[in-house]
Structure 1
């Protein structure tokens, strides 16, 4: 032993892996090194391995990834795939020319270099005396005491990879490497938070969230405690191990690796124990290359070509490729001599800022996952605030929401295909420092600078006084001129309420706040009513800029809920999705009335087209209703599902719609399909004490949990969506009121008919007869299957809306409904049919006594 020790210490050009004798005993077992054990020299063994797990699944070794000879690390490696699960010293690699020691003492593991300086150590990370070093078949390297109690574990300190069974607690993260051979921390992190797991680029700029991935499903709103993988999926779990977010993974595998790659993608690889020891990717995020923050370099625009991973990079208009020979990925710089602003150049007050406008349709990756820096702001303020912010490198101004998004700290890539309303501006530096050679010249320049400034200040004071006096006079005219007046049934505000209307509630993030007079003029005195319901009426209007809008009046809001309601509007105003109708603004007219301003959808609601010609045409709509073809119905279903999935998983807080039905799905010739009234139902507070205030929605679409006072979740919307899917398939309302001589109770409730036909294998008979069999039978069957899956009585058995989107897109197989658990629909139908029968012809009918179409019954009282 002395000879071997001497041989190791004398080898100056190799690594010495030495475990000092700290006791006279010598203990060794499978997967464990006890005190007094001595490992061998790296070059002597030729592998660097000094510890194997019991079944040799993993080994601990001194590794040099990429077979380079300048950086060596203490690693835990999966034997069959050579995957580095953990590395001790990624920021301080061992060099090949030094004589380094790996020692095990009572205080833990320590790596020292030739000068005896500590390169890496576990000292101070735990309390207790180390007895041995143990490597488990899970890949967990542990320091244990004499009672085999773990004192320190590599699972608590992940690097770029984690494995099945390993937990990453809230606040924990994975960090990408610089390259496959350089394990220095790179630019990307995967961070576990109390609500989500997100991918971030430099300075915390988010570019992906687990909750927003279409393969994920949100199961609860509990706080997240940790992230873990097993043989069935990736999970975010709460403190009581309740599932918060799930990503199903198939096929089942006993061993998976979750790795944050050097390109910023998070990949889950399943290890398949076949003779060839193959691996396969089961999950990749983000899937689109253009969603990565630096796929094309700074400012360059990423353009997808035919697939999610095939793309090209171009400089946007006004920019050219940099000539910097040191940069492998050429960034875009302004075409003129101006330079791009950088966070280090702002200290100079001698530079002036210009802004280059990016072309329409060019977006920025971080805007999808960040809140606006300012809302209800104009373009000039947005530009001014960015110029005064030393970390702001540019901004996006969203005209429809009057929101300002800052591009801060580092400029990443842009991408093609964004909303054309999102216009970006990149800050550039131009101008030369003023001359400071002679003091006299400085003094001579004072007057030209000071005099205009003084004049401008005086002018601003005069304008301010004029506006204040005019506003006071206008307000007085409103009080005197409108008091007691009633217009076309519209509530006339009292003097006190007008005073309240002018008060400015300090709630950040509110969308544009219109005055009552502005909306009165836009709607021509609320002349054209295009819809009504329990909430009030909807009017067509035109804003001063020519934008056609729908102005919705909501009445009878409780005084206590006023501020809370506006707070919720501030949240909804920041929500932007192609399948959600855009809330442009609002008007708070006292405590009795609230006006909401939405984009106008020229084809009206889905029920007008879907149930035509069973219902009459609304005059405000453009053109007669047409029978929807099957392909368009599928597109409408998919678009509505995407909008709902966004509300459920992609917002800061889960938003439950509470009233999904064809009347709340709007159509437009050019803007496609948008869900309306999202999130507002649950924020309204009805004042009628005789109503169940927790029940919101429309009878016929209500999930069973509404009627049993059970807890409400996002799966409540899934049930309503399943009902809508059946109506899309059949082209008529699910519940109709026909005389008993014409139709049985069961036949009058379509979900029961659909269940019966599904059991008999006759789903093709359920398609809308007006389509004259222009429908693929297999698609009808899949739609009916999906609808029935959404109608399970137990909410947890219903798929999430994210899963529904995957099934409608064809990425996921359609689940098979559990028929035995859908029998409740027959009993459920009696209550619905009897209620509809008592009501007779609904308020939405044309008055001809037709019973083919039944207007929904609102149970919230105020919608």
Structure 2
């Protein structure tokens, strides 16, 4: 027996010892790490070691902590030497020094980072550093376990669950988040988020450590006033604590399998993110909501446009001041003139002086001065006379701006007052005529050389691109990149020539497909009907839809356009649409029938609609909310589908609509009466869907009377509205498959909210924000009246509930539509 044990120990020492030490969760004086060595938390959730950020060029290395498993993308959550990179990790070393501190030494033995625990040097007791499953690196005494330092008290740009983000009132130390400089450089960037040092229970984001441009609002006991979407989110437990020792915000996850982080992005937005089963980070809430509301997000002279990618651009006559940083997402340096200003202090605008270029659609900056000028020409000359004047605008009065212009935004349309930016006269098209001869001669010489080379490489390049383009696009989509312009043939092959039809709707048929290189399942919608938009407009509208991302909205991966064939490529939802789960037609997961799942589906769909109505730059009215357009992923998270398509397929769509769209049974009365349509039409449709979630049946189907409750007979929305208005017990409205197993308080809230949503007068209907707050239980819901339109439909219930219900509804809609026209 002893010889067997000895033999096993020898085998471990020879073959396995080094691997075991590398897999340890501890760093000590005797077990440092360098090169590719890492330490992993005991449960395997987090890893610490040397890394080089993606996009950083691979020349700078840092010590950091990142997710070890589940998250397929390397996502650093903490960086030690963020401002002092090292060049060679193989000859660098992270260890616990003799004075008890964690220290990082570079290739020449110089200390570039230390935990700087002053009390550690006064003791001879050994210390060790341990990486925990919470993502926290803890330095503690080897004997006794006294914690000397921990990374959770020194966050970088990320706050993990359980981390206290706030202020130590005893020491005065703050725990703020500081953005990275850019995607390839974790050095402290321009944006900082921290608690109000004056003691109020709110957080703010500042630019350049000086100017505050966003605040969370004060804590009201459940959430921050300025972030209503975080209120009682069922997957998170938020808290704010303020006592004699500290004030801090923290959050936790009831489900230990969830992965979430709070990040202050390079762009200056703070986002609560969750790792989704589709292998990507999904945004739960963001502040500020609009990227262009971030102060100086595009730097001096940079123009912000949330609908474009990238979101920052330079106006005519300007280019990025730092092209390398610009490509990595750091736009803080802004834009500079293509050619330096040649200010001569006079009125000369020839090639030797300065001139102005218009910036169409760009908003006017604030803080202008207003000199006396009777015309646009006088205003222009007034700006030319001052070398510090950089722009002017004239719209009845003269406005001048000086220095670098910040917070410029592309409004997407013509401005009443056009902004003119000062540039070198060389950059004004009209001033180039004098150089035209020289340019033509230069072009002729260069062209002869280029032509000879082009003939040689043209055929080779064309063939190579043809082979690679399809592969590149498909790989980009499989890897979760940005919106992809697919080739039609690629999508056709991915769907096996559109052979597996998933269903159809108002805008076209949907087919299942699979992307190569990873097997990602997709759903392809073939848009049908007359598309009265051109190719350019189609692409622009699709890109607008593509940048809209929310955990409760279906993600658009890409599109394809070939002649009259238009395709939209979405993520595939394995649990199908809500109608199949509620009304049958396919096997439904057992959990889908529980009240808890139904209530969360209703709440999630409401949050998705709220984001469309208020979270996007331009309000989006869905126009066709119904169970068929609420999809469920593998975890039964609801995803609103087909948003934005009403605008894409319409000819005259704006915030006020007059054309009848949608599905009979969910249409608000204003669709039929001809009243202009607003977001309240979506609220009405949502109310009808909410009633179906409660009952598990189509609203238009007859409810037979029962011995227990004869009042249940009739048109269900009317039955529900009457019971709610009379204060009667509502458990009889539940889907019989639930067998009464439901939270009666949630049931009452859901029924009251639904009946308010389907009121005839849209002014009496709540907003989707009020719907979310009501379902969350944040606000009380009064007893709603019975809508007149439901009473009118209920009077004809014998006919409405017959086998000819569909035909009746069609006749009803045709009659009123023709009458209103």
Question: TM-score range with shorter-chain normalisation?
Answer: 0.3 to 0.5
TM-score (norm 2): 0.44
Greater Rg, structure 1 or structure 2?
Answer: 1
* Normalised TM-score (structure 1): 0.42
